[in-house]
Every structure is written in C-alpha cells, then in structure tokens.
Structure 1
Amino acid sequence: MRSLSQSMKVVAVAAVVGTAIPVVADSTPGIGATPAHADVVSRISVTGNTRVDAETVISYLTIRPNQNFGAADIDASVKALFDTGLFADVRISRSAGGLVVAVTENPIIARVAFEGNSRHDDRVLGATVELQPRSVLTQAKVQSDTQRIQELYRRTGRYNATVEPQTIDLGQNRVALVFNIDEGPRTEISKISFIGNTAFSDGRLQDVIQSRESGLFGWFRTSDNYDPDRLNADQEALRVFYYKRGYADFRVISAVADFDRDQNAFFITFTVEEGAQYTFGDISVETTLPELNVDELSGTARTRAGNVYNSEEVEKTLEDLTLAVSSKGYAFAQVRPRGERDYENRTISITYFIDEGARTYIERINIVGNSRTRDYVIRREFDIAEGDAYNQVLIDKAERRLKNLNFFANVRITAEQGSQPDRVVVNVQVEDQPTGEISVGGGYSSEAGFIVQVSLSERNFLGRGQQVRVAAGRGEDTQTYDLSFTEPFFLDRRLSAGFDVYRNAIGDSELLHPFDEVITGGGLRLGVPLTDELTLGLNYKIFESEITDIRGAGDANGGRFTSGTDPISLTNPNLIEEGSRIVSSLGYSLTYSTIDNFQMPREGIYAQFAQEGAGVGGDAQFLRTTAKVDYYQELLPEWGVIGHVGAQAGHVMGLGQDLSYRDTFRMGGDLVRGFENAGIGPRDRSSGYALGGEMYVGGTVETIFPMPILPSDYGFFGSFFADAGTVWGVDSGTVASTGADVIGDDASIRASVGFGVLWQSPFGLLRANVAYPVLKDDADETQLFSFSAGTRF
C-alpha cells in the first residue's frame, strides 16, 4: 500500500511540475507535434527536515540547479529519498523559479520493548530483531522484525505465536517500539510415520532421525518441536543410515509435515524407497600417474569384496588414498570412485581412479555464522589451508569433522570461483548451538548408600573447543569433588591434553568399608591419535590415601562376619594399615574404537590395552595391566535387536615389594552381575573383608532389544545376559605380613544370568539389572538387583 501511495504522489507532483513547463510549438511544416522543453531551476530548498541536513537531502536528488530536468528525474529523486529509509513522506514542487523538497522524517526509536514473552527473555528477542534504540523506524523493518520473532517461536515449537508491533509517540519525533507477543501453546509432533520401509521397522528408523514424537517425556526435550531444518537433517540421516547398510538405491520420496490447527500439532510422514541391499564386488585402484604403486595403494582401501556395501567406508577410502597420494608429492591428484552395479547379483564393484587434477589453489577460507566459536577452532579441522591445492575429498572430510564436534546446529561448506581461474574461495557456514550441560543424578550402591551428584560441563569452553567439567556428589557417608579440563588441540596439533583433580571422602559404610578414607589426587593425560580408530594415551597420576578410624573387634557383631547384610568388624588389627600413603604412577593405553554411539552402542568394536606402573616416587611400587574388548552388532536390524559380546582381564604385581591390599582388584557386579561390590574373590575368614586379587578375568554375552508394547520413542530396551568371571591370587607377602586367613581364593568361575532394563533417558543411559548367580563360592556376596548409569566400557 505504501508503494502505491508513493507512486501516486510521484505522479501528482510530476503532473504539477509538468504543467509549469513552457511549451513551444514547432514551426516545421507538416508536423503537428508540440514537444515540451526540459525545465531548469536556479535553486533547491528543503523543508520539514530536523535531523537530516539539507545538503544531505539534496545529495540524493538527481536534479541539479541550472540543469535540465523532467518528470523522470522527479520520480527518480523521490524514489532515492524513500530508499534511504530516513523519510516517511517526500513531496517535490516548483516555487518562484526554485524547487522545494518537503520531507517528513521517520521517527527515531527511543527504546524497544517486548510484552507477553516468557519462553524467550528480552535479551534473546533483542538480539533477534534488527531495529535497535537510536535507529530510524521504518514500517518495512518493523514488519521484517515481526516475522523474525515469529520464526524464532516457530523454531522452538510455538507455531501459533502472534506478534503485534505498536509504536508509542514520545514527542520530538521519538517513539517507543513495543512488540506485543502472544506465545500460544506449545506446538508438538503428534505422530511420525514411515511408508515404504520393509528392511527396518518404524521404531528403528525413529532412532535414526532427530525429530521425536511428543509423549511422556516430551517436556524434557525440544526435539519434539517441528523444525524444517531438522526435517531436512532427518532426511539426510536416513540416507546415510541406509547407504551404510548396503541400500545404495535408497531415496526419500517425500517428507511431509502436516499441521493440524485444531490439535496444534504436526503429523510427519516419510515416504521412502529402500531398493535392494548390495555387497561389494571387485575392488581395484587405477591411476594415470606412472610413479604410483597400485598394489600398495590397493592395501589402503577399506572396502573389501563380499562385505555389505557401506558408503562410509568408500568415503574414508577416498580420504586415505588422497592423503597417501599427496604424501608422495601429488598435491593436485584427484581420487574418484567409479561404481559398477550388478543388479542380478546385487553387487557394486568399485574402482578408485587416481589422476592429476586441475591445478587449483585455495585463495581464501571464509567462515560465517559462528557467533561464539572462534575461527581457529573451525580452521584446525581442515587438513588443508589457504594457498594449498584444492581437494574436494579433504573439504568433505573437514565438513564431517565439524559436524562430529557437535558444536553446531548446521554445517555447510561450499566453493566458488576466486579472483583468478585457478583460485577457489571456500565458504564455511555454521550455526552455533548450546554446548553446556547441567545434570543432576542419583544412585545407590551397597557400599556408599544413596548418592546425589550435580555436574556442570561445557564442551566448547569460551568458544575455544575446550572441555571443562565440574562435579560434586554427596551420599550417606561419602563426598566427592571432581574437576577436569581437556584441550583437544594441544600445541596446535591434533593431540588432546588435560588434567584431572579430585577429592573423595568415604566414611565407615558399615558393610564393605570398615574405616574412614580420604583420597585426594589428580593426573595429567595426553592422547595421540595414531589413526581414525586407534589412539595412544599417556598419563601420570598421583594421589594420597589416608585411612583413619578403623573399626575394631567388638564394635559390631562381636567381630563376626556372617552375611553380606551384617557389618564388618576387623578382628585382625594388621589387616588394614592406618595412615596416609602416596601412589605416583605413569601409564599408557592403546584404544581402538569403531563404536557408532558410546551412549547406546549398536555396531562396532571397542578394545583397550593399558598398563600402569607405580614407583615414580610415592610409597607404592607395582605394575598393573588390564585389557578389555566389546563387540556390538545388530542381529535383527529390522527390529533393532543388538548382540553384545565382551571380555576383560587384568593382572597386578608388586615391584620389589609386597603388593598392598589397596592395589589389588576388588571386583563384583562390575565383573559378574548378581554379586555385591567387591563380592567376588579372596576374603579374610574372620571378618569377611575383601582382600582382592592379583588377577581377574571375565566375559559377557548379551542381547538387547526394544521393549515390546511401550512406544519406541520412550527409549526403553530390555536385555538378557549371561556373565562369567573370577578374581584370584592374594600376594603371599601380604598374607604373611597381615596374618589374614584367606578364603575364596581358588580361582573358581562365578557365573550369573539375568534380565535388564535400559532407558535412554534425558539424563543419559540408565540401567537396572536383576541377576541370579548360577555359580558362586560360599564366601561370595550376592546382590539380586543392581542399578547403574552409562554403558559398560
């Protein structure tokens, strides 16, 4: 409407001015046209302006004194003045040989306020709108900011939110701008449906996407709000999921979000076409570069003939081959996969073709959208820099790394022509997302009783990519304090370095801890990635353990130990040594991991071998060795049934001195479920106190499946498991020095079977187990029910 009004004003002014232009008839015979001569003004004056100088107004005009002008010039001048955004009205007219420009200035915003908002505070809304105090008010910007606020609410699940702008005249051409907001009820995702899927169930596919149905736990999260960007990400997640599992022809036909205004809810429907599942056929490497050894490069390929087709393995093979060829001096070499489908046998043969690519350099890397994360945190994820040879494979690798950081809601990398034909500008567009987390958790253990822990963590501290965690916990007889810091790029290299500081005060628990103990310590650590899957860890640890108030004979039960529910009273004063002790150790670990998700693994291997040697100062001298491996595989992918096999073992020995009881392995339910903490292995006969052992070995077989009846969105899983293991080997010197009467040290296997319930809760993975021991020793302590948080790694 405003543009139509302005156009009418321009036409009217042009008509008035045009009538004042003198017309002279042409005397040429036979020609009846009488064209108008262009007008000339001697001066230009401005009226109505209070803030804007007259010279500034005149500078925007296309009309100049003593120069010819016409209606088109008036039209252009009026448009130019309106385009400045400074004026609400503009009129141009002739007066006594001069030109008068009458303007009405737009008001100045004295303040911007928001009314009716509770989901977003004024600070967030103020950063969303473009108009700010002391800026010029225009209706176009008001409407634009109104739409910005509505979009903010829509992205946070308030699709019925309305925004009404209001201006309050404060005099002297100043106004207050108020956005009256009606946030409306929360708009949820009522139902997510899949059409066309046969290889995987709806519940399994819902685990793949980020969008969630609103339900019992909807108020814990925001992923049950409809977000068009999230819907696009869900489609890509489905493609990646299918491509990694051999469905190379998979495609998302449509992803539709229908909004029901009556229910104030969205109904999302994914229509997919799965296609056939393929395996890898022949794998080969070809090149036009004569100095490259094709046989050597073929060994670099991760794809293997006969395996199920996996697009991720193809991508990583491209990266590995690109780096291998670049290391041989071919900076511009390009590696391209060439796939050949055999529809009858359902195989895809891959040929990795290597040739000399175009000599194109990276002119500049532009980073936009990072309001919090520092530029260098993003740049260091690139294996190439400005001035290097441009390689699309390495660009794709950087994009994958940036997404894996989980710092950003969106990551998009594009390339455009640079200043010269052989130059490319790389544009990195990101959107920061919250990276802090506050968690409150609780639990129960037979040794410490009820425990409550509060932790604050930040994985992108001050936008530097650093990880910080502070935690404090309290139980019936325990107090714990922890601080950890990790720098993922130590010395500007892909090395992770960090430190840990902690203090644990453990009181007399009346069951397995018949003394007070305070442990204060810390450590330094360094992680060195050897490959994408293999990491070398180095560490130094030091802590002081101080034991006081040992409960002696006669304090409880007359010094007799009869069952796991009776308190321990030590009849042997030499069994536990009172006082302080410092342990200083150096250690290393080799960790191999292809786990897809550490919270709820479905596929992959996790293996670790570690050794720790104490004796770098301190009071203890020992060598501790541990090893473990866990393997996860989807047994019935269509239903989300997971198989898990694990094994672990350990050995500790004294170095030049007897092994202290404090350094032995005290294990129970963490080795074989169905047993108390420290419930397995050697004990003192008179008190039942766990002495621990020099060696342990254990294994588990488990099947995990979605809980029937319950909606998959609730995140409940069940499991059947069988565990077996043992702890044995009391140091003979320790027995001689303490006079312990050892029982349960025959290395006999303990075993249990049971059922577990897992919940992917908003607080993390929680697990409850009911286990029945089928093999045990008379000295062991059993526990039918146990509760834990996190995955057993």
Structure 2
Amino acid sequence: MMFGLRVLRGGLAAALIMCALPIAAVTTVSFVSSPASAQTVSSIGVEGNRRIEADTIRSYFKPGPNGRLDSVRIDDGLKALIETGLFQDVKINQAGGRLVVVVVENPVINRVAFEGNKKVKDEQLQAEVQSKARGTLSRAMVQSDTQRISEIYRRNGRYDVRVEPKIIDQPNNRVDLVFEITEGPKTGVKVIEFIGNQAYSSYRLKDVIKTRESNFLSFLGGNDVYDPDRIEADRDVLRRFYLKNGYADVQIVAALTEYDPARKGFIVSFKIEEGQQYRVGSVDFQSSIPNLDGNSFRSLSRVSVGSIYNAEAVEKSVEEMTIEASRRGYAFATVKPRGDRNFEAHTVSIVFAVEEGPRTYIERINVRGNTRTRDYVIRREFDISEGDAYNRALVDRAERRLKNLDYFKTVKIGTEPGSSNDRVVLNVDVEEKSTGDFSVSGGYSTADGLLGEVSVSERNLLGRGLFAKASVQYGQRTQGYALSFVEPYLLGYRVALGLDLYQRKQLASSYVSYDSSTLGFSPRLGFQLREDLNLQLRYSISQQKITLPSYLTNCNNNPANPNLPFFPTPANIIQNGTPAGDGSFNLGGFNSVSNNCFSDGEASLAVRKELQSGAALTSAVGYSLAYNTLDNNKDPTTGILASLNQDFAGVGGDVSYLKTTADIKAYTPIVADIIGLLHLQGGILNQTGKDIRMLDHFQMGPNLVRGFAPLGIGPRDITPGTYNDALGGTKYWGASVEMQMPFWFLPKEIGLKGAVFADAGSLFDYKGSTCWAATAECLTVGADDGLVRTSVGVGLIWQSPFGPLRFDYAIPVTKSKYDQVQEFRFGGGTSF
C-alpha cells in the first residue's frame, strides 16, 4: 500500500508542476523582456541534490542561440530531468529574480531480493530484472520488472502468479527492493480438441503435436504446460502431417486457446479444413537449361505414380535434384515443383522444372547466439561456404542438420542483402540448450531380473560436437560397464568415428548353466549415404570366458584342489566318483545317471569343453547397412526399419566364422488408430576355418517366438543327467504379425496400448562338436529338426514417463518337447 501511495504522490506533484508551467512561462516572458533580468544556465540555482552534481542538473537546460533561456527551453529542461528517472520530484521556483530548480532525488537501491520463489531461482530472476543493487530506484522500472517476473512464470506454466514489489526504507536515502512472489500452481492444458478432422481421429492427431493434456503423471514432463509458441509450432506440425499424407488442400485455420477458471487450465482447439486426399497422377521432368536433360533426374525422385501425394517426399526430391545439378556444374540451377490438381479424380500431376536461377553468391555466413558451441561445429553442417553460389536447397538441408544435432533450442537461418545485388548474407541464429545427461535407470525383466544403471553422457563435449558416455550396470544376473566416444567429423570429413569399450558379465540362471564374462573393444566408422540410409564399418576384438557355478562343481573329487571343476583326463579318470589312478581309460558308468557327477545335474559336455579351452579371443570385421523411414523412432506408426549385418571373425584370434543377419520391421495404419506391424528376421552362420564354438551359435527364445523362455528354442543337449543346456543353431528365421491399438476409453496421455500378435520361427543346424576325444564322451543333440515354433498372444504396451514398458502373454501352439516355455514376459525400465 505504501508503494501505491508514493506513486500517486509523485504523479500528483508532476501534474501540479505541469499545470504551473504556463503561469511560470508568462512570468518568465515578462522577466526576460528586460535584458538586465535575462536568465542564463550558469545563473540557475539548484537545491535538494545530494549525489548528483548541480552542473549535471543545469546541463539539461539548453540555452538558445543568444545564450539565454526562454520559457520553452525551461519547460524542455524540466521534462528532460523528469525523464531521467533520477528524481522523485522536480520543481522550478523563482527566488530573488533567479530560477531555482528544487529536486528530490530517487533513493539508491541497497539490495534487490525475491521472496516466495521456489520454482525459479534467484539467479534467473536477477538476470531478468532491470532494477539493480547500487542503482537508482525508478518506480516505472519496478513496475516493468514486476511484469517481467510474471511473464517468466507464465512461460513456465504458472498463470496464477502474483508479484508484489515492496520498498523498505533504509538510512541515507537508501531502500531495499523486495519482490514478494506467490507462484501458484502450474497452469496446464486440460483439454486438446480438434474441429473438422475426418480422416484422422483426435486420438491420432494428439500423437502428432507436441503439446499434451495434463494428467496425474504430468509432473514428470513439461509438455502439458501452456506455451503459446509451442501451440503455434503445433499448427505447422499438423499442416505438414496432412501434406505428408496426401491432403494437399489442408488448412489449419486457427489454434484457439481459452482459459477455463473452473478447471484452472487451458482448452486448446485446432480448427482444421482437411480437403480431399490426393494420389500422384503423373511425374514429369523438364529443363530449360541447355545440355541438361530433365529426365536424367528421374532416379532421384522419391514420388511415384499411384502413390499417395507426399509433400515431404517432393521437398526431398527437389533437394536431391538441386544438389545433383550443382555437382554437374550448374551451381545456379533451381528445381521448382509444380502440382496440377485434378479435383474430380483426386490426383496431382507433378512436374519438376529445372531452371537457371539468379546468379547470387554467399558473401558471408554469420553465426549468432552460440555461447558454448564452437563456430566450426555449426559451419561444418553446411555444404556451402562464403563465396559459393547461393543454393536454397543446401541452406535448408543445413538448417535441418543443425536441428537434428539436438544442441539448440531453436535454429533459424535467414538472409539479408549483401554489399551488391548479386551478394547475400546468411544469418544463422541459434539458442543453446543443455546437452549433458545424468541418468539413474532401473528395470526388471523376466530374463535378467532386477537391473540398475547409472550413466553420464554429453552430446556436445567441450562445445566441439563430440559425444561421450559412461555407464555402469548392476543387476541380479547382469553386471558390467561401457564407455563410448564419437567424433562425428573425422579429419573434417562427414565420417563418424566411434570407440566402444565394454565389459559384461552374465550370471547363470534357470536358462543357462554357466557364467560368462566378456571384455571387448570396438572402433567403428559411420557414413550417412542418405538421410534414410546409413552404413557402418566396424572392427571388434573381445575376449570371452565362461565359468561354472558352485552347484555344478560339487562333484569334484580331486584332493589336490577340490574347488576345480571335474574334468576327466586319460591319466586320471574318475569312475563312480573315485580316481582310477592307473592311467586306464575305463569310463565305466561315466555317462550313467547314477554317477555322482551327473545325478545332481551336470553342465553340458559342450559347456565343459568351452570351459576347458579357457578364454577365447574373437577378432572380427563387419558392416551394417540400415534403412530407416519411420515417422517416429520411439513410437512408430508408419515406415520401414531394415538392417543387414555381416561379421567375419578370423582376423587373428581363436575364432573363425562368417555371420550374416537381416531384420525388417514395417509399420502401417490399418484402420482408424490401429497400427499393423510385420517383423521378418533371419540369420546364417558359416564355418570359415576352425570349428564353430557352441558360444558363437545363434541363441533364440522370445526374441524369435514369444511364449518361449530365453534360450528356450532350438538344438539342446538332451544327454541323460545333464543340465540340458541350449546349444544354439547356425540358421534361424522368424516372422511376426502384430496389431497395436489404443484404449480409447483412457486418456491419450497415459500412453497405454494393447496388442495382439502371432509369431512363427525356427532355429536349427547345430554344427559344434558333439564328442570330446579327451574323455571319449559324446552328447546327444535334440530338437535340431527345423520344427517351426508358433505362438499367439496379447500384449500391453506402455510409453510411460518412466520409460517404455511391455507385458506379453503368449501361448505356444507348436513346440518341441525339449523347448522351454515361458508364457508371461515383462520388460522395461526407467530413467530419471
């Protein structure tokens, strides 16, 4: 209340002064008419000033050409003093025939403090307000600061914020400025609705936009907070979604927001005019440039006759053609797409016209706003530089690359005229954001049990665009660590160099009888052939060692070292639990179930043979070719993800083989919000020299056919009395069809979907050794007949704030009697 009264008093004083000025002006005119009484600047008296020099105050009064002050100039000086904000009150009096300026100085701010703020730190508020300690108190500035603080909170989703400035008087004309803040609750988006949508349900369109509705899990995210900039961006995202799916006439007419006091949140409405869906009627190519055949660009087109019109594919086709023309020496060539609609047939005839563009050169590229990221990290994303021909397609590609780096909140590339008509300046404006991540993750799966992970990563290390990550895992059955480093531009070329060092230990479980420990190192090179096609070349070297748990070594009767696992040798054969000691090779009942070593379950001969061989060193070279057109990598609804991998082991080391695998996933909408998934996979392992180890075979379970346990499918050691370890196979194939559908009766933001699926696959052709000459033992291989395993089931998919979670219940339809079944499977984790 004190603050309001002071403002009123100051305003009243100013008003009285302004009203009094005409009277003073009349008096002054009469006074100045006498030359002996004329006023000069030096004759002005100053009263009431403490910190501000009198000459400084006099300097605001500007004399006329004759060095005298008339009424107009006195009035201008008075206004100039008030506008400085240095004074609470300014008056002009006459005393003894002289002008006297009487001032009341504004107090000095002793400190600026904030009370009640919990969601926004003091440091952030201090940086935003203009009132500063040791500065002069300006009531207009205080009001501006109050509005600025309120705006900061509104940007953070708190529209019920109240900010009240308090001025506390201190000695020596000093004051404390305190902003008392009542933050209020978050003001979220309570309802998102779409008006006019026919082709896509509101449920589906909510997946497209970034804004989310508030729910009981919203505290884990921030997209439910009302943000007008995000709403405007969502309009463009919706429009591009429709254009990508054939709706060439779509218009997002409006994005309306209304605050609902009853719900204490916003209602957001998107008004859409969809129009008709178009297909491509024809695709033609024209060129007005001599010696440049338009049809030579046909192979670069990403649109085909009969397909649904896709504006994004048209844009990428234009980009590829423009770049190809530049490579052929036509630096100023432009490709302009033209679409002629047939409203009756609902088709678009597309013509790509190659024309000679204006001869414009890039004079300069300005990078602005990067406070941490080095300039060269931004500039290397351009395929053009200063002095090159201006190419809009290449500029758009650079902008898209910069956004994909995920280093910046915003990226915008604009142009301005250069020093001449044929010059243009590019301005790259970026806003930095945090690129470091620290996460503590936890999860549980029926295969690995409880699992925890701590990781630290940085996507833009030292502002040089480097990636580094360190993680440690510890769980019931899995432990290890991993270190990764990526240099995305090796020696200045668009080639990514990656280095991975890892150590992993897998403990024995009900699925496998042995512990395994692997230490490996892998350098790799990545090449982006196209935006949707990547090639990776790699070399890997790893050492793997297996050990048996104590419950499989308690049959040892070696008095020299009872902790060693039992391995009969020609010089020391254990017969019925007692060393023969005579060097004979009498195995007696060694393979009998009644033997003490086998009666309580013995590891497979294949496992014990690997154990006797000791640690194996694998040195391999390989490559991966990946094709990705998914619309969303985390929750895809359309597109293809395919990969081909080959690894050749035998570049030194103890292992030799050629391993080839392929995997294809295709997503497509079926009806409404139901998404279909077709998953095909296969692999083959070829012997290239040495015998193939049991550990190098493919091991399959629910990753091939759900409803089976890990390592539950394929060839298995069925020797009586043994642990029945999985041996694996050298060939496998799998096929799966799945339909994913939302629960329409639940809020979209919960992220729950249901699934029904059917799987089929087979693992077969074990090629490891089945006999051990050292002990004359042989194992019996079962379930190596190529039988097709099938299953059907249902699943629950949750894209939760804690991370992706999935529950599957599958019933095997066909199986081998030696397969291990696990009908229920759960997996998932979290990061926070």
* Structure 1 Cα separation of the partners of residues 36 and 271 of structure 2: 67
* Structure 1 Cα separation of the partners of residues 162 and 180 of structure 2: 8
Worse-superposed segment, 290-299 or 362-371: 362-371
Aligned to 1:780: 819
Aligned with 2:631: secondary structure? coil
Q: CA deviation at 1:296?
A: 0.4
Aligned with 2:300: secondary structure? coil
Q: CA, structure 1 residues 45+65, in 2 after alignment: closer, same or farther (shift >3 Å)?
A: farther
Code of the residue aligned with 1:626 in structure 2: it is T
Q: CA deviation at 1:224?
A: 1.2
Aligned with 2:622: secondary structure? strand
After TM superposition, list the pairs within 5 Å mapping 1:548-563 onto structure 2. Answer: 548-551=547-550
Q: CA, structure 1 residues 461+285, in 2 after alignment: closer, same or farther (shift >3 Å)?
A: same
| Residue 124 (str. 1) matches residue 124 (str. 2) | yes
| Residue 581 (str. 1) matches residue 616 (str. 2) | yes
Q: CA, structure 1 residues 787+553, in 2 after alignment: closer, same or farther (shift >3 Å)?
A: closer
Q: CA, structure 1 residues 316+61, in 2 after alignment: closer, same or farther (shift >3 Å)?
A: farther
1:607 equivalent among 642, 647, 663: 642
Aligned to 2:290: 290
1:20 equivalent among 25, 28, 34: 28
Code of the residue aligned with 2:758 in structure 1: it is A
Cα pair 2:446 2:827 within 8 Å, conserved:
no
Aligned to 2:754: 718
Q: CA, structure 1 residues 70+451, in 2 after alignment: closer, same or farther (shift >3 Å)?
A: same
Cα pair 1:61 1:77 within 8 Å, conserved:
yes
- For structure 2, the residue ranges without an aligned partner over 5 or more in a row are 1-7, 556-590
* Structure 2 Cα separation of the partners of residues 448 and 501 of structure 1: 22
Q: CA deviation at 1:432?
A: 3.8
Q: CA deviation at 1:212?
A: 1.2
* Structure 1 Cα separation of the partners of residues 208 and 316 of structure 2: 21
* Structure 2 Cα separation of the partners of residues 403 and 552 of structure 1: 56
Say which one has the larger Rg.
2
Aligned to 2:17: 9
* Structure 2 Cα separation of the partners of residues 512 and 762 of structure 1: 31
Aligned to 1:760: 799
Instruction: Report Cα offsets for 1:651-693 as digits up to 9, x if no partner.
Output: 2234321111221111111111111111111111132111222
Cα pair 1:723 1:752 within 8 Å, conserved:
yes
| Residue 220 (str. 1) matches residue 254 (str. 2) | no
Aligned with 1:203: secondary structure? helix
Q: CA deviation at 1:709?
A: 2.2
* Structure 2 Cα separation of the partners of residues 283 and 4 of structure 1: 75
Q: CA deviation at 1:429?
A: 3.6
Aligned to 2:717: 684
* Structure 1 Cα separation of the partners of residues 137 and 363 of structure 2: 40
Instruction: Report Cα offsets for 1:475-508 as digits up to 9, x if no partner.
Output: 2243232232333333333322222222223333
Cα pair 1:706 1:718 within 8 Å, conserved:
yes
* Structure 2 Cα separation of the partners of residues 58 and 291 of structure 1: 77
Aligned to 2:560: none
Q: CA, structure 1 residues 656+98, in 2 after alignment: closer, same or farther (shift >3 Å)?
A: farther
Q: CA deviation at 1:164?
A: 1.2
* Structure 2 Cα separation of the partners of residues 580 and 667 of structure 1: 23
Cα pair 1:568 1:689 within 8 Å, conserved:
no
* Structure 1 Cα separation of the partners of residues 13 and 48 of structure 2: 19
Pairs aligned (count): 774
Aligned to 2:532: 533
Aligned with 1:574: secondary structure? helix
Aligned with 2:385: secondary structure? coil
Q: CA deviation at 1:592?
A: 1.3
Aligned to 1:652: 685
Q: CA, structure 1 residues 333+264, in 2 after alignment: closer, same or farther (shift >3 Å)?
A: same
* Structure 2 Cα separation of the partners of residues 739 and 127 of structure 1: 78
Aligned to 1:31: none
Q: CA deviation at 1:427?
A: 3.3
Aligned to 1:633: 668
Worse-superposed segment, 522-531 or 407-416: 407-416
* Structure 1 Cα separation of the partners of residues 600 and 28 of structure 2: 112
Worse-superposed segment, 51-60 or 580-589: 51-60
2:787 equivalent among 722, 745, 748: 748
Q: CA deviation at 1:713?
A: 2.3
Cα pair 2:728 2:763 within 8 Å, conserved:
yes
Code of the residue aligned with 1:596 in structure 2: it is D
Q: CA deviation at 1:433?
A: 4.2
Q: CA, structure 1 residues 61+353, in 2 after alignment: closer, same or farther (shift >3 Å)?
A: farther
| Residue 620 (str. 1) matches residue 655 (str. 2) | yes
| Residue 350 (str. 1) matches residue 338 (str. 2) | no
Normalised by the length of structure 2, the TM-score is 0.85
* Structure 1 Cα separation of the partners of residues 237 and 292 of structure 2: 36
Q: CA, structure 1 residues 570+732, in 2 after alignment: closer, same or farther (shift >3 Å)?
A: closer
* Structure 2 Cα separation of the partners of residues 357 and 71 of structure 1: 64
Aligned to 1:30: none
After TM superposition, list the pairs within 5 Å mapping 1:57-76 onto structure 2. Answer: 57=57, 61-63=61-63, 67-76=67-76
Aligned to 2:729: 693
Aligned to 1:256: 256
- For structure 1, the residue ranges without an aligned partner over 5 or more in a row are 26-33
Q: CA, structure 1 residues 95+713, in 2 after alignment: closer, same or farther (shift >3 Å)?
A: same
Cα pair 1:559 1:569 within 8 Å, conserved:
no
| Residue 163 (str. 1) matches residue 196 (str. 2) | no
Q: CA deviation at 1:63?
A: 3.5
Q: CA deviation at 1:76?
A: 3.4
Aligned to 1:205: 205
Q: CA, structure 1 residues 163+428, in 2 after alignment: closer, same or farther (shift >3 Å)?
A: farther
Worse-superposed segment, 155-164 or 62-71: 62-71
Identity of aligned residues (%): 45
Q: CA deviation at 1:44?
A: 5.6
Code of the residue aligned with 1:577 in structure 2: it is L
* Structure 2 Cα separation of the partners of residues 760 and 351 of structure 1: 42
* Structure 2 Cα separation of the partners of residues 49 and 735 of structure 1: 107
* Coordinate RMSD, CA, aligned: 3.3
* Structure 2 Cα separation of the partners of residues 202 and 56 of structure 1: 67
Code of the residue aligned with 2:520 in structure 1: it is G
Worse-superposed segment, 373-382 or 36-45: 36-45
Q: CA, structure 1 residues 213+313, in 2 after alignment: closer, same or farther (shift >3 Å)?
A: same
Cα pair 1:521 1:541 within 8 Å, conserved:
yes
Q: CA deviation at 1:160?
A: 0.3
Worse-superposed segment, 35-44 or 246-255: 35-44
Cα pair 1:512 1:568 within 8 Å, conserved:
no
Aligned to 1:471: 471
